[in-house]
């Protein structure tokens, strides 16, 4: 197919810069402010490094992972101890490892096979222990244990009697236990003096996604909550637990609470963020007003305080941009001194990255959809968000679905725009952050009104002269993968091709095979997606399942799957590939034996997007970087359809 003129002059951004390991990422200051920890590669694998806070260049690695890489780590309240999480090839049975920086010893604090560990709480009042949930007794339920960071000894704190989750305080007291009600709401209980659990408060189904506890005040007498009860958007509320008196601390007419800054020891709310189309802050504690005002002058981008010392005197600040890597600074509050640390991907500085434009699109029934789009540099050199002629377009659908897209840097956006495509993402109904009415508008609407929102956004882009009708791709992961399969089967004439990553094809088998530890929350799924436990519910879910409509597929489809995915099992991809084979419908199926719900190893992510890039070029006519050596080191297998991707058979051989 002819290549679009919009992508002929802009230099091609190497794929490795977008999907390879970051240079450095996730910096965190130790509680005493003396040391800085961050993630960086060791022999191509992400590990934790530690440096003196004043000299990041003197960092040395303190972990020794040689496989998937460390992605989740944090300081304990002992400044000589770090913990990190690791699973096995994507199975999400997380182990918690402790690293003693004085001795260099690394200890598996939860050495139990086939068990998932969850860090529930740490506390500056008890720096030698952490509160952990383990489903070792019952795969469906996490009991709570206190684990000694030095010895690994664990002490049972709370036997789980069928609860979905717990809320504990700084003394490691379990203050509330929550369980779902049959309609998808939740009931919070607390123990009476005689040890019996009794109702403290109830959250109805309509508020369940937008209402939850956040933290206690210093005395433990006040509970801070994000709360949508009695209104649409979730406000920040303080509830006196003795009197029941409630005070609204911060609110927004169009957006839910999205983040809070809480003093590490005083437990006062300093600032609250809301995110409609861009993040904004409401300051509640004037002591930080000057800090945030000053930080806004240091560097372009949205300011985020990502780590802080126990005395709140030193902050690690991230500047999030749409057309550049994240920039990190160490900020000393007393002197208002901000020292540049590093960017997460230095090689992206100076690359031809594009802007991300927020826009509100009206759905066919009048619902406002907050969306984001990007345009190639050659088609929009000044990055004003306007075009003179339509382009092939990629619709990128977020997962969840109870999540959202936000403004900022996105490597997939940048890849696609650089290759000559307009790119659009949609906060369809069911997405979070826009009030409970918006979330609940997605109930029982998988493959129906939720999908209509995506189609309406595509039609808007065509009507605006942005998208070339007939050359629109749909792609996404998890729910976005489901949406891709729905696009291929329910609206096969709208999309020219689809890229599905770990997307469910059959909603009945999806819910029948959810991980056992999700069972306490199963009513969330049945009330919002459909009830697979009844014959009527099964019929409904099968009708909304792409697998039931495979005959409708008429355009090219690329599927990516992790073999160890505990959420969307490999069988979800296997069964739709098999159905397409039976009907002699072409499909390309890429399977990774060492991955789970998405691709964690950069070699695997790089290889998949190399294939996706070539696939989209075949379908839409954009340019692509040849596969080259980007399959090296990946565990990639292609059980079906390698011949449909330019250069893939040769690269595999």
Active-site residues: which are they? 478, 565, 597
- In which residue are the tokens 């191509």 written? 44
d(CA 606, CA 181) in angstroms, rounded, equals 43
DSSP element (H, E) containing 467: strand 467-477
d(CA 290, CA 292) in angstroms, rounded, equals 6
Total number of residues shown for the chain:
653
Contacts 24+ apart (CB under 8 A), 644-647: 644/556, 644/586, 644/588, 644/615, 644/618, 645/558, 645/588, 645/611, 645/614, 645/615, 645/618, 646/614, 646/617, 646/618, 647/614
**Paired tokens of 333:** 């509050």
CA distances from 197 to 179, 432, 455, 607 (A): 11, 31, 48, 52
Collect all residues with Cβ–Cβ distance below 8 Å to 619 and sequence separation of at least 6: 471, 473, 496, 497, 555, 556
**Is the separation of the CB atoms in 405 and 397 below 8 Å?**
no
Residue 552: Cβ within 10 Å count: 14
Q: Pick the closest to residue 439 from 451, 447, 450 (CA basis).
A: 450
d(CA 545, CA 503) in angstroms, rounded, equals 11
For 318, the 3-state DSSP assignment is: strand
Within a 13 Å sphere around the CA of 297, how many CA atoms are in the beta-carbon half?
6
3-state secondary structure 512-572: HCCCHHHHHHHHHHHHHCCCCCCHHHHHHHHHCCHHHHHHHCCCCEEEEEECCCCCCCHHH
Residue 28: Cβ within 10 Å count: 20
**Is the separation of the CB atoms in 328 and 22 below 8 Å?**
no
Q: Pick the closest to residue 132 from 118, 115, 142, 122 (CA basis).
A: 118
Q: Pick the closest to residue 84 from 112, 113, 36, 47 (CA basis).
A: 47
Residue 324: Cβ within 10 Å count: 18
d(CA 40, CA 525) in angstroms, rounded, equals 37
For 510, the 3-state DSSP assignment is: helix
For 61, the 3-state DSSP assignment is: strand
**Paired tokens of 500:** 């599905």
d(CA 344, CA 412) in angstroms, rounded, equals 16
**Paired tokens of 258:** 């999205």
DSSP element (H, E) containing 117: strand 117-122
d(CA 453, CA 450) in angstroms, rounded, equals 5
d(CA 214, CA 256) in angstroms, rounded, equals 14
For 111, the 3-state DSSP assignment is: coil
d(CA 10, CA 353) in angstroms, rounded, equals 10
Residue 290: Cβ within 10 Å count: 12
Provide the pairing of β-strand 588-592 with 637-640: antiparallel
Collect all residues with Cβ–Cβ distance below 8 Å to 535 and sequence separation of at least 6: none
d(CA 120, CA 245) in angstroms, rounded, equals 27
């Amino acid at each position: 197919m002819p290549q679009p003129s919009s992508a002929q002059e802009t230099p091609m951004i190497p794929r490795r810069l977008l999907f390879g390991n970051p240079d450095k990422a996730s910096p965190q200051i130790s509680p005493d402010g003396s040391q800085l920890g961050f993630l960086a590669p060791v022999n191509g694998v992400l590990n934790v490094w530690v440096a003196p806070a004043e000299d990041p260049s003197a960092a040395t690695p303190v972990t020794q992972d040689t496989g998937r890489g460390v992605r989740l780590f944090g300081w304990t309240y002992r400044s000589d101890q770090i913990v990190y999480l690791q699973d096995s090839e994507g199975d999400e049975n997380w182990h918690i490892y402790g690293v003693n920086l004085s001795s260099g010893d690394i200890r598996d604090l939860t050495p139990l096979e086939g068990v998932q560990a969850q860090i529930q709480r740490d506390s500056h009042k008890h720096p030698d222990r952490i509160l952990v949930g383990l489903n070792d007794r019952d795969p469906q339920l996490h009991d709570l244990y206190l684990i000694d960071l030095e010895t690994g000894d664990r002490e049972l704190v709370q036997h789980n009697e069928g609860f979905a989750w717990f809320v504990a305080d700084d003394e490691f007291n379990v203050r509330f236990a929550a369980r779902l009600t049959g309609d998808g709401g939740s009931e919070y209980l607390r123990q009476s003096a005689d040890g019996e659990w009794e109702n403290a408060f109830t959250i109805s189904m309509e508020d369940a996604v937008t209402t939850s506890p956040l933290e206690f005040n210093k005395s433990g007498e006040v509970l801070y909550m994000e709360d949508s009860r009695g209104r649409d958007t979730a406000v920040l509320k303080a509830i006196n637990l003795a009197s029941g008196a409630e005070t609204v601390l911060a609110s927004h007419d169009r957006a839910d609470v999205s983040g809070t800054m809480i003093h590490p020891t005083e437990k006062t709310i300093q600032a609250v963020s809301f995110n409609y189309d861009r993040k904004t802050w409401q300051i509640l504690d004037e002591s930080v007003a000057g800090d945030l005002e000053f930080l806004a002058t240091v560097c372009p981008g949205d300011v985020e305080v990502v780590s802080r010392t126990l005395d709140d005197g030193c902050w690690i600040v991230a500047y999030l941009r749409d057309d550049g890597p994240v920039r990190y600074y160490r900020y000393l509050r007393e002197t208002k001194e901000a020292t540049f640390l590093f960017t997460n991907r230095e090689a992206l500085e100076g690359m031809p990255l594009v802007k991300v434009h927020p826009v509100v699109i009206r759905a066919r029934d009048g619902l406002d959809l907050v969306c984001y789009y990007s345009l190639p540099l050659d088609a929009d050199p000044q990055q004003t968000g306007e075009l003179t002629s339509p382009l092939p377009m990629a619709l990128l659908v977020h997962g969840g679905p109870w999540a959202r897209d936000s403004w900022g840097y996105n490597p997939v956006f940048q890849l696609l725009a650089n290759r000559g495509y307009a790119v659009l993402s949609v906060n369809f109904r069911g997405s979070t952050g826009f009030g409970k009415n918006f979330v609940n508008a997605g109930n029982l609407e998988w493959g129906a009104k939720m999908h209509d929102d995506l189609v309406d956004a595509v039609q808007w882009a065509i009507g605006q002269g942005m998208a070339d009708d007939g050359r629109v791709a749909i792609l996404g992961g998890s729910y976005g993968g489901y949406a891709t399969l729905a696009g291929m089967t329910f609206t096969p004439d709208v999309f020219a091709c689809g890229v599905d990553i770990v997307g469910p094809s059959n909603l009945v088998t999806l819910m029948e095979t959810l991980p056992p530890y999700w069972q306490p929350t199963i009513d969330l799924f049945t009330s919002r997606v459909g009830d697979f436990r009844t014959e009527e519910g099964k019929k409904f879910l099968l009708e909304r399942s792409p697998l039931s409509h495979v005959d409708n597929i008429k355009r090219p489809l690329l599927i990516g799957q992790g073999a160890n995915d505990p959420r969307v099992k490999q069988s979800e991809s296997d069964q739709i590939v098999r159905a397409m084979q039976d009907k002699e419908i072409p499909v390309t199926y890429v399977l990774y034996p060492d991955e789970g719900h998405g691709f964690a190893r950069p070699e695997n992510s790089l290889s998949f997007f190399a294939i996706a890039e070539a696939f989209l070029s075949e379908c839409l006519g954009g340019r692509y970087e040849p596969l080259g050596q980007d399959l090296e080191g990946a565990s990639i297998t292609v059980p079906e359809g390698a011949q449909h991707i330019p250069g893939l058979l040769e690269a595999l051989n």
